[in-house]
Amino acid sequence: MPLVQGKGTPSEASHVTRLVRGACPHDCPDTCATLTEVRDGRAVRFTGAPEHPVTQGWLCAKVRPYLERVYHPDRLLTPLRRIGPKGAADHWEPISWDDAISEIAGRWQEIIARYGAAAILPYSYSGTIGVVQLSVASRRLWNRMGASGLERSICGAAAVAAVTATYGARWAPEYAEVLDSRLVVLWGHNPASTAPHFMPLLREAQRRGAYVVVIDPRRTLTARSADEHLQPRPATDGALALGLMHVLFSEGLHDEPWLEAHSIGWRDLRDRVASYPPEHVAEITGISAETIVALARRLGKTKPALLKFADGVQRHGNGGQTVRAICSLPAIVGQVGVRGGGLSYQTSDYITYDAETIGHKSECPPTPRVVNMNRLGAALTGEVSEPPIMALYVFNANPLVSTPNTGRIIQGMLRPDLFTVVHDLFLTDTARYADIVLPATSQLEQVDFHEAYGHRNVQYNEAAIAPLGESKSNWDVMRLLAQAMGYDEPWLRQTAEEVIAELLDASRPISPTLEGITLERLQAEGTVPDTIPPERDVPFSDGYFPTPSGKVELRCDALIAAGLDPLPEYVAPAEFANRPQGDSRLTLITGAAHHFVSSSFANVPSLIAKEGAIPWIEIHPDDARRRGITAGAMVTVSNARGECRLRAMVSENVAPGVAVAPKGRWLSLSHDAHNVNWTTSDALADLAGQSTFHSNLVEIRLAE
Ligand SMILES: Nc1nc2c(c(=O)[nH]1)N[C@H]1C(S)=C(S)[C@@H](COP(=O)(O)OP(=O)(O)OC[C@H]3O[C@@H](n4cnc5c(=O)[nH]c(N)nc54)[C@H](O)[C@@H]3O)O[C@H]1N2
Ligand SMILES: Nc1nc2c(c(=O)[nH]1)N[C@H]1C(S)=C(S)[C@@H](COP(=O)(O)OP(=O)(O)OC[C@H]3O[C@@H](n4cnc5c(=O)[nH]c(N)nc54)[C@H](O)[C@@H]3O)O[C@H]1N2
Ligand code: SF4
Ligand SMILES: [Mo]
């Protein structure tokens, strides 16, 4: 396709239409390739690239109307200074970039002189997941400063740690390999909303005879088209997986030669699962013993069998061990390294970046301490001291909407002595508590390089249009801040293109998958497949596992140091343990909304209309009846941490005792200025400081 073309009718002949290649920057495994049609400097059409192997020419429901986000009337166009109370919507004055940068640098220098740079905390997550605008932007400046580090554990830290401990790397098949599967188990994963480009392939596999099982307490969009849907009690999946293994071992359906050759600890695991007979597991999970036995037999006998999961299932107090148990299953049945079989979690480890180039750590002072992002509220209100956090710099994140235990975060952000800067495209709920707000560019206005976590292609995002107003990219702001702070390292001055070129050159020697991938080639081709040799096309088919033992570690002694049992085990999260008799609280699950990505897009009118103007919660008819709640009624959802008001959807999509209300709703666009994260817990899981959003017991009652 020509990238520059004169267009159409004679009257339009003077207009030049450009087609600009890009990458969807949002936190989604599909990382689509996009095409922006630009006319007279304005983006007029935004579509999926037809030639991209995953995108296949279409974008999901949330990103299709992207230009509505890019040209949203609420886009921030200049820096702002707060001139009223923290948290207010309308007490702002526009200021120049010069003033904003010198005020920030001045305040930081005072704080560093008095408390040390540890008193400064950068907070970011996944507004964009680009390599420059997230990975590099969240390291270089802060390393140079010696600021506090951030433990980035809000999303999938426990799963990453568990899968890495077990298999050594996050390698996964391409979506299209599901066409070779005969059995597909989607475990606590809702790709119809969260990995949409997997779905047409799954349907095709099903047409070709594959049997699809979904394991999720909610009847999700994905579950509706499955052949079988199991609804375990939340956070009991570890027990379910151990119960399946019990049946596999006791009926001799495990693949002993494979386990003998490629794993360690399988006999220990067999001993462990002896105490998980189906009847016992049925009591824990609420799934009948017959169903457990039938699924185990199916797993043992149907090959190739693919087990796919994502991060939702592990946002529980026991998330680490849950994933350890789930991800052991493909090994037990000898399906690892088999086309159409095995484990599909993430593709993130096909590329290894040179860490030094990302962060230039060796030239910087040591990171003084690391603050767990899930405990932001606690950290701001005294959990972190000596020095206390005196300055917060938020970019690529909206913690007042997306981080647990909102009430505590607000308490922290209201501290008069806390200096807060927020860099975003919009005056988000978080931005309202800032002293200085900086306007950010959208993906159409910035350059970046993207690696996907759901497929094996890298992509270049060319800027399609000029920055709106005075908005600037994350990296461009950090270059200005570095200069104002007097940091003169060349790696704090590079353009985004220079960063990408340097990173590719430095990483190629340690990452053979980057062979032949250069900035120039990315700029010319947009999408470039990772260089993966044929013998590694099916993950782990060469029998190589980069664990300490070189094998699948079903018993993983390295986990002992992390305080974990080296064998998968089921322990109920503290939130659910020792519940009093007759406890009528429900478990609130707050996973992905179909039309938003976390809180991104939750201010786009057409998407709010599709998702439902009033934030909703699904509860089972029995639970509703007992509380006098009818469909459409407003209910108060509460616990000791806080509360929010939602509209009841009475539905058998959820089992009794479970309620579902998607994440992402803006406080300022909700009538009570609250959302589900007022109730969620900032307790950490059993592994890697993981968030525990779904281990959340709430009362639900009719709102007054
Ligand atoms: N549309 C949309 N897409 C997104 C996002 C979004 O917000 N919206 N977010 C993106 C991000 S940041 C991420 S990390 C991924 C997440 O991708 P997914 O993990 O697929 O999505 P989630 O909705 O978080 O969780 C998946 C499912 O886990 C289920 N679940 C919760 N607790 C349990 C449990 O105890 N057991 C079992 N078996 N299931 C459980 C939920 O009911 C939910 O349906 O999606 C990404 N894509
Ligand atoms: N209750 C509940 N809460 C959850 C979850 C859950 O399952 N349940 N899931 C959690 C998960 S998995 C995740 S990953 C987190 C995500 O949490 P966050 O990373 O905080 O994601 P968002 O809320 O989407 O906020 C991203 C912000 O970045 C801004 N942004 C986008 N692009 C740019 C850019 O280029 N520059 C700058 N400066 N800003 C930009 C967006 O406008 C948006 O305001 O949410 C977590 N929150
Ligand atoms: S959010 Fe995901 S599916 Fe939607 S356009 Fe972006 S990468 Fe593609
Ligand atoms: Mo996430």
**pLDDT digits over 589-622, tens only?**
999 999 999 999 999 999 999 999 999 999 999 9
Residue 345 contacts residue 315 (beta carbons within 8 Å) = no
pLDDT band at 5 (very low <50, low <70, confident <90, very high): very low
pLDDT tens per residue across span 120-148: 999 999 999 999 999 999 999 999 999 99
* Ligand 2 site-directed mutation target among 600, 604, 668, most atoms within 8 Å of CB: 600
Q: 568 near 388, Cβ under 8 Å? A: no
Helix (H, G, I), strand (E, B) or coil at 259: helix
Residue 632 has pLDDT above 70, yes or no: yes
> How far is the first Cα of the chain from the last one, in angstroms, to the nearest whole number?
59
Residues of the chain above pLDDT 70, percent: 98
Ligand 3 closest atom vs CA 197? 3
Over residues 442-495, the pLDDT tens digits come to 999 999 999 999 999 999 999 999 999 999 999 999 999 999 999 999 999 999
Give the pLDDT confidence of 82-117 residue by residue, as tens digits: 999 999 888 999 999 999 999 999 999 999 999 999
* Sequence ranges of the domains in the chain: 3-70, 80-155+351-529, 173-344+538-562, 574-702
- Give the span between the Cα atoms of 243 and 294, in whole angstroms: 12
Q: What's phi and psi for 438, nearest 5 deg?
A: -115, 140
What is 330-379 written as a DSSP string? HHHTT-TT-TT-EEES--GGGS---HHHHH-GGGSPPP--EEEGGGHHHI
Q: Is 592 in the pocket of ligand 1 (CB under 6 A)?
A: yes
Q: Is the pLDDT of residue 7 over 80?
A: no
Structural domain 80-155+351-529, CATH architecture: 3-Layer(aba) Sandwich (3.40)
For 240-259, the pLDDT digits (tens) are: 999 999 999 999 999 999 99
Question: Closest residue (by CA) to atom 9 of ligand 1?
Answer: 597
The average pLDDT across 538-561 equals 97
Q: Measure the CA–CA gap between 686 and 321, rounded to whole angstroms.
A: 7
Give distance in angstroms: CA of 229 to centre of ligand 4: 24
* Nearest ligand 1 atom to alpha carbon 594: 1
Same fold, 173-344+538-562 and 574-702: no
Output the average pLDDT for the chain. Answer: 97
Atom 39 of ligand 1, nearest CA residue: 188
Give the helix/strand (H/E) hosting 5.
strand 4-6
Cβ distance 131 to 400 under 8 Å? no
Q: Closest by alpha carbon to 171, among 691, 564, 543?
A: 543
- CA of residue 621 to ligand 4 center, whole Å: 30
Dist. CA 154–CA 402, nearest whole Å? 9
Can you list the alpha helix ranges (DSSP code H) found in 10-156? 66-70, 97-115, 140-145
Of 425, 452, 393, nearest to 129 (Cα)? 452
pLDDT bracket for residue 1 (50, 70, 90): very low
Query: Does 302 score more than 90 pLDDT?
Result: yes
pTM value? 0.97
Q: How far is CA 492 from the centre of its chain?
A: 28
> Strand 370-372 to strand 149-151: parallel, antiparallel, or no bridges (unpaired)?
parallel
User: Tell me, what's the pLDDT at 515?
Assistant: 97
Question: How confident is the model over 160-213, as pLDDT tens digits?
Answer: 999 999 999 999 999 999 999 999 999 999 999 999 999 999 999 999 999 999
**Residue 578, phi-psi category: left (phi > 0), alpha (psi -120 to 50), beta (remainder):** left
Say which CATH class 3-70 falls into: alpha beta
CA distance 124 to 137: 9
> Which of 28, 62, 80, 125 for mutating ligand 2's site (highest number of atoms within 8 Å of CB)?
125
Instruction: Compute the residue count for the chain.
Output: 704
Structure tokens at 175: 């979506």
Residue 648: how many other CB atoms lie within 10 Å: 24
Residue 14: the pLDDT is: 59
Right CATH number for 574-702 from 2.40.50.140, 3.40.190.10, 2.40.40.20, 1.10.510.10? Answer: 2.40.40.20
The CA distance from 137 to 688, in Å, is: 23
The answer to whether domain 173-344+538-562 has CATH 3.40.228.10 is yes
Nearest C-alpha to atom 13 of ligand 2 is from which residue?
155
Q: How confident is the model at residue 383 (pLDDT cuts 50, 70, 90)?
A: very high
